[in-house]
Amino acid sequence: MANEFPQAVTIAGSDSDGSAGMQADLHTFFRRKVYGASILLACVAGNSYGIHAAVDLPEDFIDTEFKALADDYKIRAAKTGMISDSKIIRNVIRNYKKYDFGPLVVDPVITTKHGNVLLEKEAYKTLRDELIPLATVITPNFFEAQKLAEMDIKSKDDYVTAAKKLQSLGAKNVVLKGSHDDPKQTTVSDYILLESGKGFWLTGKFFDTERKNGTGDSLSACIAAELAKGKDVETAARIAKKFVDAAIEDQLPVAHKVGPINHWAPADDIEP
Ligand code: PXL
């Protein structure tokens, strides 16, 4: 077999209700016509009301997942999602350095949309100091960006400053997701800072809905999918913003509270 079909891997946790984490990543890979593999790090028992339990997988099992994939598939891009503690972050770093899985998109998952903490407190520094320097792209949300850049973001200039700080942590490209805390806002603007130093805004419609579980996962997975197809980071970020906005707008009637986005949303006009 030529092994040439675009292949990507999500290195993340499973969310049992399918709305976020690895499931959202795999939905996204499928929708963007990329073969999706998954290296599972943790399992979360969740639904649209919140997270009810979580367990980590054994380290030697994670090592075997990496090896099994590397021995057989030609992974062209990888993304990380939930990684709960320093031990597992270091395991992922060791394995990522050992195998060639292409560019790495790091989604610095700290909390869920329900406010549940997925990254243990002691692990935050490991994420920032050891994993982020490996990132081709980092995709923090507004909250994560402020925490990682150690500053408040209040103005457009602050976004630019925060993105530069995140780049100085070692991430080559930064996709800093805009605030959506104001119910009166009509748009959401993300700030993108590329390795070349080019910075630009991506603005989409604001949808006032709590049915947004999996947006961050899907955005980073979509960037990884496009990189696996050979797209550049700017193009990948533009496609991902449109893809996720469409998936938020076209709501899926399942579950009761913080429900999933809709990966089936019409996406034909997304290719720029
Ligand atoms: O969306 C963040 C996230 C990531 N990974 C897992 C999750 C969630 C949110 O619920 O459960 C496994």
Whether 97 is covered by a domain: the verdict is yes
C-alpha 234 to ligand 1 mean position (Å) = 25
pLDDT tens over the chain, length 272 residues: 789 999 999 999 999 999 999 999 999 999 999 999 999 999 999 999 999 999 999 999 999 999 999 999 999 999 999 999 999 999 999 999 999 999 999 999 998 877 788 888 889 999 999 999 999 999 999 999 999 999 999 999 999 999 999 999 999 999 999 998 887 899 999 999 999 999 999 999 999 888 899 999 999 999 999 999 999 999 999 999 999 999 999 999 999 999 999 999 987 677 75
Whether 236 is covered by a domain: the verdict is yes
Whether 271 is covered by a domain: the verdict is no
Whether 2 is covered by a domain: the verdict is no
Whether 166 is covered by a domain: the verdict is yes
Whether 264 is covered by a domain: the verdict is no
Residue 236 CA neighbour count, 13 Å, CB half: 30
What is the model's pLDDT at position 111?
Answer: 84
| Chain-centroid distance, C-alpha 48 | 19
Tell me the whole-structure pTM to 2 decimals.
Answer: 0.97
**Count of domains for the chain:** 1
CA 194 – CA 80 distance, rounded (Å): 19
What is the model's pLDDT at position 63?
Answer: 98
With CA atoms as reference, report the closest residue to 137 among 80, 85, 95: 80
Are 55 and 40 a contacting pair, CB within 8 Å?
Answer: no
Whether 256 is covered by a domain: the verdict is no
User: In this structure, what CATH number is given to the domain that contains residue 63?
Assistant: 3.40.1190.20
Residue identifier of the C-alpha nearest atom 6 of ligand 1? 21
What is the model's pLDDT at position 182?
Answer: 81
**What residues make up the domain containing 47?**
7-249
Residues touching ligand 1 (Cβ under 6 Å) are: 12-15, 20-21, 44, 46, 81-82, 109, 112, 118, 213-214, 216-217
Residue identifier of the C-alpha nearest atom 9 of ligand 1? 112
Long-range contacts, stretch 87-91, CB < 8 angstroms, 24+ apart:
87/59, 88/41, 88/42, 88/56, 88/59, 88/62, 89/123, 89/126, 89/127, 89/130, 89/131, 90/126, 90/130, 91/59, 91/62, 91/63
